[in-house]
Structures are given as structure tokens and as C-alpha cells.
Structure 1
Amino acid sequence: MPKPTKGPRLGGGPAHERLLLANLAAALFTHKSIKTTETKAKRLRPLAERLITFAKRGDLHARRRVLSVIGDKGVVHELFTEIAPLVADRDGGYTRITKVGNRKGDNAPMAVIELVLEPVQKKKAAPAAKKAAAPKAAAAEAPAEEAPAEDAPAEGAAAEEAAEAEAAVDAPAAEATDAAADAPADAEKADAEKAE
């Protein structure tokens, strides 16, 4: 949540500030990107994101709440029918502020605030971890198969190592590395016990 501001308001009075932000929000939803001062962009962001959240709900009460702020039925219709479906998968962060330097006349810091309408990309870290664990698990199975299987306890140890290797395929990559490192050590311990 943004930190509440104290001191001078945008535009002079509270009513003027409310109208100014409503007009900026309407322009943002109409043009998808607007250039304004950094201060106005930072003050517009929470309002615009709250209105987009209402639009994602899509019910009549939400539409009336947005209409109470913006007032232009065409802009509200565009928000509910065009923008809301594009950000339906996004959990927040519907706007992006980019600083663009200072204005020529009064040297005011300027920024571009725009809607983030790109689709959300899902993270694919889990399948990559399984692919990395599969070769290491195969390497762990190879020493277990080469170990001589003369006694029943040694066969039990080899079966345990094979079970650990199969579990390592399903486990995250860090656990697979530990299981692969432990498998040769377990085979050596089993050989040492057989020799005694």
C-alpha cells in the first residue's frame, strides 16, 4: 500500500485532486499509456490498480464503483471489456512507471505510466530440476549394478540404493546431488562389511 502523503495536494484542493486523478485514470485506460510528471504518476498508480481490480471482478457493483470515480461510461466499458480480460491472470502490478527525464520548460521530472498487458509467463523451474536430476540418478544406479551381489545383505543394499536413486528423480536437484554423492559411499561401506 502506498504511503499516505502529507502537505500540498495535486492541483490545490482535495476535490480538484480527486478530479485530476480521475481524468488521468480515464486517459490511461483510453490510451494505455500517458506521459505526466513523476508525482502524478506515482499518485495515479494505486487508483488505477484498484479500478482494474474492480474491473476484474466484473459484477454490477464493481462497475458502479468504477463509474463513481471515472464517470465516463465509454471508458468504464473499455476497462471492463478490453483491459480486464487481458490482465485476468495477473495478480497485481497492472501499471509500469518509466522515468523519461525532465520537462524542457520548468525542468519537472517526467514519467510514462502505462498498462502492463503482456501475458503472465509461468515459471518452469520444476521441470528443469527433474531433467538435471535424471542423468545424476542414472550415474548413481550404474555403480550399484556393478557391485558384486554375493550375499543377500549386499543385494538389499543395492536395492536400497536403487530406491534412493528413483526417489532422487522425483526430489529437487539439491537432494538428487546428495543422493548421487551418497550412493558410491554406501556401496563402498557395503563392500567393506562383506570383506569383514
Structure 2
Amino acid sequence: MLGCLWTPFILVASLGALFFIRGFLFVASDSKSISFMEISDHWIYDVLVGKLFGVPMQVYWAALFTIFSYYLYRKHVFGIHIHHVGDNPDSAAQMGINVNWVRISAFMYVGLGAALAGIFSCLINFTWWPTQGFGYLLLALAAVFIGGTPTWGGVGTIVGAVFGVGVIAYMEVGVVAMGMSGVWRQFFNGLIIILAILGHRFHGGRVR
């Protein structure tokens, strides 16, 4: 959110805020995990991570979030503004779009999704760790790039992002299923990001 106020420093400010909050959690929790096994008897657990017709509730919630995101991006004026700002922020500003507000709102929406994912992760494992979510940043980047969203913005779809998530999830399981060490997962994730970026660079002119 801070980086949205100064365009050249979006990435630096976002990473700085990430490290600041992460460090605060380490200090506040004394680097210790928090267990809450009793949550399994609460109705909230059944609603969020229980099962309905044999299917985990996470699947339903993920589908609902995806559908809402698709509507927001494709059918709502907010999604149109995101597309214009991502494609050309200067042109969007000349059209009367509040570029900073659109960026901040987009960051907030992504943060909401990350918060929900963290809640589901804690409920599934009955434990919160201060290191919860470490490594997910790389996976998220890989999924987005595979899904067809380039680094320069202005192009991309919700369906493509979901496809990218599916590919990453399949690869995460596939590496272990092939009998390879889990440490290879990060190697392949990085390789996928590099290949995806190269593909966007080579075909970027055609896309735009």
C-alpha cells in the first residue's frame, strides 16, 4: 500500500512492509507456535474446513472466491480500472481514474485473499506458526506467470491464474510422487518463473 503512493518503489515498499510485519510476528510470538486443537469441535471449523457431500469446504470457498474475483475483474468497473491502470497508468490518470486508489484497493483485495488462505491453513493444521506462509510468495508468482499475466501488466485473466495455480499444485505433488527430494520443488518453481517471463518477453509484442 505504501508503494502505491510512489510508483517506482512499489516492490521495495511492499517487501519492506512484508519483512516488517513478519519480524513483528516473530517478536510478538517469541518465535513459538500456537495450537488450538479445540477448534475442531466448533461450528466455524465445520463451515470453513469441514466436508459437504464428501468434498472439503475449502474447495467450495475457493470456487466462490474465484467466481467473485472473475465478476469483479470482468463485469465490474473496478476490474476495468485495474486493467487500464495495469496497462498504462498515465493514460488511466488522464481518463480520470484515481490510479493510487485503484492500486491500493487491488493490494487490499489480494491481502484479503492471502488472509483467508492463512486462516484456512491454520484451521487445517490446528496450529499457527510465525513462519506460516514462507515460500508461498514464489509459488504465487509462478502461478500468475504461468497463467498468462506478464510482468508489465494490462494482460491476464482470472481463469489463467486458476490454471497456473493448478499447474503449480500438480508439480508440487508430482515432484514428491516421482520420488525426488522436496528441495527440488523450489528449483522447478524458479525455473518455471524464468521460462514464463522469457515467454512473455518474446511474445509480449503480439499480446499487446
With structure 1 as the length reference, what TM-score do the two structures score? 0.23
Structure with more helix by fraction = 2
Larger radius of gyration: 1
Structure with more strand by fraction = 1
